[in-house]
Structure 1
Amino acid sequence: MTNTNRPAENCYFKRIGVELNAYRRHLLDRIEIQKSTKGVSKIIIDGVSPQTKPSSIYAAAAKFDLCELLIDSSENLSRCAQWQIHSVQLDMTADRGYKKGPISSVMHAGIYFTIDMAGYSCASTRRMWIYNVRNLLNLCSKKNIIVVFNEEKYTEEEVLEIFLLFKIKKRVAVKFLSTNVENMLITAAMKKYAYKGAIIPMEENESSFKRLVYRATKPLKSIKK
């Protein structure tokens, strides 16, 4: 797979004022990605298998703010729960039989689930997408969910209306596009830029990602004071 920017997966979360630039690549690709210097960058890695080592994931994600893995089985999901990543995107276009155990492990590790609206957009995958999204929402109790969408196809209100069809409250669906996103970003920034409760000193022209540290309202449990 060619390493390119994926505009269909880029998303501007207007409720929190964060621009997310996503780039997708296969784990075996070696072409260097030219990423934007604006906003927060996210690498979406495909090709995770039972033989994948975490070191290869970290090497591929080293130059990006966030790392997300494309996952197509409960087995791979269980393994990535032990890795230093920020989110996973489950294959919602086929019947993969995701189970509660791996889902719970991922949540316990503080990893978020990204739901891409692309599966709903395509008529051939829409039914399976709806089935899998409903299943995921039940298994994770509607927690740790982030929704991304192509702004050329959907407005935020249209996305919210679709999720209301899953019989969830609007305030919960709104979190998928705001609070959950911000919490994930702040936690990721804290892990990178805070050490034993101390934040790396402010610099001129700081990145959008580092500035997220200053939104934190409470210490991160995994960072010792």
Structure 2
Amino acid sequence: MDTISIINTDNKARLYKIAFWLALFTIAYNTIEGLVSTYLGYEDESLSLFGFGADSFIEVISGIGIAHMVLRIQRNDNSPRDKFERTALRITGFAFYTLVAGLTVTSLYNIWTGHKPETTFWGVVISIISIAVMWALVYTKERVGNKLNSDAILADAGCTRVCIYMSVILLVASGIYELTGIPYIDSIGTLGIAYFAFKEGKECFEKANSDKLCSSNCCS
């Protein structure tokens, strides 16, 4: 593994710039994904796709905190989290918990009433795109983090994996429903998304209240 001690100043600055632009790309992508997913989820009455889109908006808030973190560790990689990052983490955590409550209640209601989406086709399409994009982000963040020997950037890469897990859940639920029309699959997929959203929210509050980069269960 390359370390900061064996890369020159220009390379170090270039790598931090890449990390910062990765954070900005994540913000932009999640914004677009959130808009498209919530709109199509609402139109198709697919709660799993709508919830996936709502999660993307929360990831935008998280991404802003990550971009700020990259700038902070670029100045001093040993500096503790500042007030801005802790506030962003608490807002993100609260948003995740709110999403979990809404998705859980609505999923149970849909199961109770026998509600089914009109189609989950777009859930399949969006999830496949998301898996590809998030996988590329994880790979690139890990490369940058390893070259900088930055635990903070590597922790961010690890937590980006949760987006892949959510995308896989959306793909499986949407694909099964589209192929079979089995009732409740969309609602069960939504509960799976809610589970990972809960873990993300818990992680955010743990980070906000300490200087740990990640708990032992970070996004896994």
- Please report the TM-score for the alignment, with normalisation by the length of structure 2: 0.30
Which of the pair is proportionally richer in strand?
Answer: 1
Q: Which has the larger radius of gyration?
A: 2
Please state which structure has a larger fraction of its residues in helix: 2
Greater relative contact order structure (CA < 8 Å, 6+ sep)? 2
TM-score computed with the length of structure 1 as normaliser: 0.30
